[in-house]
Amino acid sequence: MLYPIATESRVVVDLSGIWKFMIDKEVEHIEVSQPLPTNEVVAVPASFNDQALSKEIREHNGYIWYEKEFKVATALRNERLVLRFGSATHEAWVYLNGKEITHHKGGFTPFEVEINDFLADGANRLTVRLSNLLDYTTLPVGNYSEEKDENGRTIRKVDENFDFFNYAGLHRPVKIYTTPRDYIEDIVIVPEVDLASKKADVKIAVKTAGTFDEVRVTILDEDGNQVAQASGNDLNIPIENVKLWQPLNAHLYTAKVEGIKSGESIDVYEEAFGVRKVEVKSGKFLINGQHFYFKGFGKHEDTFVQGRGLNEAYNVLDINLMKDMGANSFRTSHYPYSEEMMRLCDREGIVVIDETPAVGLFHGFGFDLSGKNAAATWSELKTKEAHEQVITELIDRDKNHACVVMWSIANEPASHIEGAYEYFEPLFNLARELDPQNRPCTLVNILMATPKEDKTSDLVDVIALNRYYGWYLQNGDLEAAEKETRKELLEWQEKYPDKPIMYTEYGADTVAGFHSAYGEPFSEEYQEDYYRMNSKVFDEIPNFVGEQLWNFADFQTKFGIMRVQGNKKGVFTRSREPKMVVRYLKDRWTNIPHFGYKK
């Protein structure tokens, strides 16, 4: 799926701004043939939860309505008109002038629909019914229940089976874009580089709708200079003296694709891409033939007021904070991030582990890590269809991004329980079949899935571990935590000597401004001591290839006695103010080279 851009042949209309809004109390039928009966408003893109000073709205579980009027310029009416949602969390029914035109389930990937046949002259009324409900068939997984109140009204409840707030809404831009009636439908770019000769063969497949006499592809460098040109739908275009896309040193080429008829360029699309080589070999992660070391974060799309909604200013700030610390990477925990963020990472040279929203695949997940009901996970959860869908949609969306070096199929599933291998094997096969660039795949491993207990580690290319020795286990006893950390990493190294190992989560809740002469848990001193302990062990393990801490910044979660205004494991506060540990991490990471740290 192509990202909507304006070109010589395409126009983009952004419907961001103020929309009518209401929660559905399910007391009376909402008639979509009429305007929504509400005077409430909400901003798009953003979560709805934190925009209204209403506990009822913020904690609403069920259905939500959005509505906006728009007009289409007469000059565009003969073009193909496409309505596109960057995402709608978690399920959407879309109506135009009272008629349902599309439906999509899954809150973190885009969907679109042609609207020419549904448009009216003058004003058009776009209505969206959303659901923020999650259950044992959805990703993420939610614990769903319902009951009737004294008036017979259905009261719905979702208890998140994950540790972040269930923000919902139109989180990403809603746009209308145009194409000609004959148009470029999709582009697949696969660069294959010969590092020794500094030459790349760029395989480009163009899918078109309608008829063209010629499909012309022109490769441009960053200065707009033409470096190659060829015609056809399936091409292999050589680039001599190729400039590589490198971590924190990105070079982006542009494939300008034109559909030509009678000598005239009918449709034009421009797709940026980077040339780089990603491999896993002999226990190392290689980018462009060099041993790469991941330095960075797990993070969230999470900001004040906008919740999980797109905030490009925060995206820019976050990337700048990462670069200032010497970081080079992050994981899109625990769902696909916005296309705008992925495009920014391409531009800035940030390495990304791209993760599906498969979080909560652990029956009875809780802070005590007891896993009392975990044995029922693979018989109780019915997420296979949703999982296949999101893998397909994620790879279709992000297939051409240079920043994406690995797919994460799930976060912290019950992979130590019988049935896990049988569940995940076809999903790994699907991802490897769909990805034209054949990137490595991983599954982010939970604490209970030790080398002896895990059932899925044979499937992964990189062993990605979430570990909290010194926090959820051995809390306050970093000496004991160090021993357990070292012991387990050596066990993984011995069991899989040819697989790279990295931490994709490790951290300690820390209250900004709380200090302790004794290094007590929750103090800024303990957080720094915790990270120093882990760093010491990481440097001892030959195949340890990266550290992505948890979390980049404090973030909102559901209420509970373990959380005071959210998760405090951030090394920055939610407003991006640094905690004391940032100075230590900056010193460490700026002295660790991106390449060649582990020989």
Of 337, 210, 341, nearest to 267 by C-alpha is 210
Q: At what angle do helices 339-348 and 312-325 cross, to 10 degrees?
A: 30
**Joined tokens for residue 138:** 């959805």
Point out the catalytic residue in the list 91, 301, 355, 412.
Answer: 412
Residue 412 catalytic?
yes
**Joined tokens for residue 520:** 């007590």
3-state secondary structure of 286: strand
**Joined tokens for residue 340:** 């705008």
Does an H or E element contain 498, and which? none
Cβ neighbours, 10 Å, residue 139: 27
Between CA 553 and CA 239 the distance in angstroms is 41
Residue 554 near residue 513, CB atoms below 8 Å: no
User: Cα separations (Å) of 290 from 190, 242, 385, 501?
Assistant: 20, 17, 38, 16
Q: No. of H helices and E strands in the chain?
A: 9, 30
Between CA 566 and CA 558 the distance in angstroms is 7
Between CA 48 and CA 122 the distance in angstroms is 29
Q: 519: number of CA atoms within 13 Å, CB side?
A: 13
Listed in sequence order, the residues at least 6 apart from 531 whose beta carbon sits closer than 8 Å to its beta carbon are: 549, 581, 584, 585
Cβ neighbours, 10 Å, residue 477: 14
Of 434, 279, 291, nearest to 356 by C-alpha is 434
Listed in sequence order, the residues at least 6 apart from 20 whose beta carbon sits closer than 8 Å to its beta carbon are: 35, 36, 38, 39, 40, 41, 42, 65, 66, 67, 68
Q: What is the CA 337 to chain-centroid distance, rounded?
A: 3
**Joined tokens for residue 45:** 């893109």
**Joined tokens for residue 499:** 């697989």
Residue 491 catalytic?
no
Q: At what angle do helices 420-434 and 384-398 cross, to 10 degrees?
A: 30
Residue 215 near residue 186, CB atoms below 8 Å: no
Does an H or E element contain 99, and which? strand 99-105
Cβ neighbours, 10 Å, residue 541: 16
The one-character DSSP state at 589 is H
Point out the catalytic residue in the list 393, 505, 524, 528.
Answer: 505
3-state secondary structure of 481: helix
Q: Which of the residues are catalytic?
A: 412, 505
